[in-house]
A and B are shown apart, each in its own frame.
Chain A
């Protein structure tokens, strides 16, 4: 590497640090100032002790897990089938999975409410379970671009067609092939998608607020408007979760010993 490239690299790094790290540092610092004159974890203990925090956080974690399950059940078979039987359809499917990035969540949720309200043909918003389900579907849609991309990329590393034929000649049907051959070989990719989904669901505001479910996102917004220090403590916690997820993605990619074969 030339001297200039090295210097440019450093400049970019320092710029990035001031851009991202400084605000974060300021945020963290402020969140520790709840007690006058000294640093303390008061804001954090207050937040974590808040029963509403516990309830909404648990709710959102449950929703995230359900969303991940839906996402995997939807995306893995789809990506598999497109790769195996309909390679011509890939650009279209990719386009569809990208739509949630350009269509605002609020449009999706208004559509949902219009289609599934209590006086519609399928009154899903009439029950709590129904609304939860609707919310999970909404989350699945929001996470679709990330999940699909992750899984599709994962499938590129294995020879889907030949492995399928090998399994078929050994007597396996579609369900067996998906569960025992395809899914285990894209687990790192599925986990990447899962952690991204998790991060999205934990912080999501629009869907949960408009469907009026007690999720973490609306709670975050409410606290932010009403308390001095706690929102900053919450932000730091949210950052921690997101970064934890990113770390887990890295970990998942290194996890599986057998995928080394593909490289």
Chain B
């Protein structure tokens, strides 16, 4: 049995079934992301693990013991909220030491642990500051330190980066991941940002309407999406209807629709590409190392990425080009 085990979890608010038969096994030290659109039940799953909501049925075990029915303050779980939720009346050091104080740790113990945590989050001399004196990113790091200080069994983060601006978001997510690796703490991270989930997770759970659609590594989720929803939600996708695929590419691959990632479509005839499509360039976005083109293929909009090369300028808008892709790069979507 894995360290954190969620099985057949059900939750309804009134008649609104929010989480449906949700199961997940998390190994010790694993970093799992719950990814899905707004309202799909990510927070609700997390809150049931934390003990703030009671499931209608199902089991949650941590380290082999069932926690359903236990109060949140008996679960030894660290939680980080989107809104930081630092105690405004306490200094940073008092915030970080709060959990230890409640556990009855000695003053010396608390001081030492608080210093250790503040060093870990890179704010060693902010101990005496009040939360309102810190930036959003700093506050969230303090919240992380506060959650980690009492050495919880599991760390839960509910969209901890959503309130921050883009630059801080990227640097802080890497920092969170580094700290999580260093401490080896089992972590569930909720986000609706697919790039965030792809970049820092060991495994991702893609949720849709209260159901875990697919569970897998970022590589699996991105390259072998098992449902149309996952394929569409994670990453960019060019979708061809089955009949279209046959008509424009001269391929016939059975039932259902096909999809191709932008990076699977090549400009010109690439070696190994067995499908060639005539196309007209409609948009050119120069992003630096990558150039993203949009082209019209017999009425279907196709996006593709090519690497920038100093000796080959990108095509102009309106240029007639050939696109190619390999049939094995096509993702078959359920009908």
Listed in ascending order, the chain A residues whose CB lies under 8 Å from chain B are 158-159, 162-163, 165-173, 176, 181, 184-185, 187, 256-262
Residue of B nearest to A169 (CB): B79
Q: Does B319 touch A at the CB level, under 8 Å?
A: no
Residues of B within 8 A of A168 (CB): 51-52, 71-73
Residues of B133-181 contacting chain A, CB below 8 A? 143, 146-147, 150
Q: Does B218 contact A (CB under 8 A)?
A: no
Q: Which residues of B contact A167 (CB under 8 A)?
A: 87, 98
Interface CB pairs A-B, < 8 A, 22: A159-B83, A159-B85, A165-B50, A165-B52, A165-B72, A165-B85, A166-B146, A168-B72, A169-B75, A170-B99, A171-B74, A171-B76, A172-B98, A185-B88, A256-B89, A258-B130, A258-B131, A261-B88, A261-B130, A261-B131, A261-B132, A262-B88
B225 on the A face (CB < 8 A): no
Q: Output the least CB separation between A185 and chain B (Å).
A: 5
Task: Kindly list chain B residues whose C-beta atoms are within 8 Å of the C-beta of A171.
Answer: 73-74, 76, 99, 102-103, 150
Give A184 to B71 CA distance when docked, in angstroms. Answer: 24
Enumerate the 7 nearest inter-chain pairs by beta-carbon distance, A residue then B residue, closest first: A261-B132, A170-B99, A169-B79, A184-B89, A166-B85, A168-B72, A162-B85
Partner of B85, one of A163, A172, A176, A185: A163
Nearest B residue to A259 via CB reads B88
Complex CA gap A174/B81 in Å reads 20
Closest to B47 in A: A165
Within 81-109 of B, Cβ neighbours of A (below 8 Å) are at 81, 83, 85-89, 98-99, 102-103
Q: Is the CB of A260 within 8 A of B73?
A: no
B103 with A169: CB separation less than 8 A: no
Hey, which chain B residues are within 8 Å of A176, CB to CB?
102
Minimal beta-carbon separation of B129 from chain A (angstroms): 11
Q: Chain A contacts of B79 at CB under 8 A?
A: 165-166, 169
Q: How many angstroms between the C-alpha atoms of A163 and B81 in the bound complex?
A: 10
- Closest chain-B Cβ to A201's Cβ sits at a distance in Å of 28
The chain B residues found within 8 Å of chain A, CB to CB, are 50-52, 71-79, 81, 83, 85-89, 98-99, 102-103, 130-132, 143, 146-147, 150
A258 B102 Cβ-Cβ under 8 A: no
Q: How far is the CB of A41 from chain B (nearest CB, A)?
A: 44
Contacts of B99 in A (CB 8 A): 170-171
Residues of A close to B147: CB separation below 8 A: 169-170
Of all chain A residues, the one with the shortest Cβ separation from B103 is A171
Complex: A256 Cα to B87 Cα, angstroms: 14
Q: How near does chain B come to A84, taking the closest CB pair, in angstroms?
A: 12
A159 CA to B74 CA in the complex, in Å?
Answer: 23
Q: A163-B85, A258-B132 are in contact. List 11 more A-B contacts (CB 8 A).
A: A163-B87, A165-B85, A166-B87, A168-B72, A171-B73, A171-B102, A172-B102, A181-B87, A181-B89, A184-B89, A258-B89
User: Bound complex: CA of A173 vs CA of B74, how far in Å?
Assistant: 9
> CA of A220 to CA of B88 in the docked complex: distance in angstroms?
44
A175 to chain B, nearest CB (A): 11
A36 to B83, CA, bound (A): 69
On chain B, the residues within 8 Å of A173 by CB distance are 73
Q: How far is the CB of B209 from chain A (nearest CB, A)?
A: 25
Residues of B within 8 A of A181 (CB): 87, 89
Q: Once bound together, how far apart are the Cα atoms of A165 and B147, in whole Å? A: 12
Q: What is the CA–CA distance of A260 and B134 in the complex, to the nearest angstrom?
A: 13
Residue pair B81, A162 in contact (C-beta under 8 Å): yes
Q: Contacts A256-B89, A258-B132 given; indicate if A169 touches B83 (C-beta within 8 A).
A: no
Q: Which single residue of chain A is at the shortest CB-CB distance from B76? A: A171
Return chain B residues, CB-CB under 8 Å to A166.
79, 81, 85-87, 143, 146
Q: In the complex, A176→B90 CA distance in Å? A: 14
Which residues in B have their C-beta under 8 angstroms from that of A256?
A: 89
A169 to B147, CA, bound (A): 8
Assembly CA distance A168 to B71 (angstroms): 9
Interface residue from B77, B89, B102, B103 paired with A185 (Cβ < 8 Å): B89
Q: How far is the CA of A24 from the CA of B146 in the complex (A)?
A: 55
B143 contacts across to A, CB distance below 8 A: 166
Expressed in whole angstroms, the minimum distance between the Cβ of A80 and any Cβ of chain B is 15
B83 touches A162 (CB 8 A): yes
Docked-complex contact A258 and B88, CB < 8 angstroms: yes
Q: How far is the CA of A170 from the CA of B51 in the complex (A)?
A: 12
Please name all residues of chain B whose beta carbon is closer than 8 Å to the beta carbon of A257 when the two chains form the complex: 130
Which of chain A's residues have a CB closer than 8 A to the CB of B88?
A: 158, 185, 258-259, 261-262
Per the bound structure, the CA–CA distance linking A176 and B73 in Å amounts to 11
* Docked pose: A167 CA to B149 CA in angstroms: 13
A253 to B152, CA, bound (A): 37
The minimal Cβ–Cβ distance linking A163 to chain B, given in whole angstroms, is 6
Rounded to whole angstroms, the CA-CA distance of A158 and B84 in the bound complex is 12
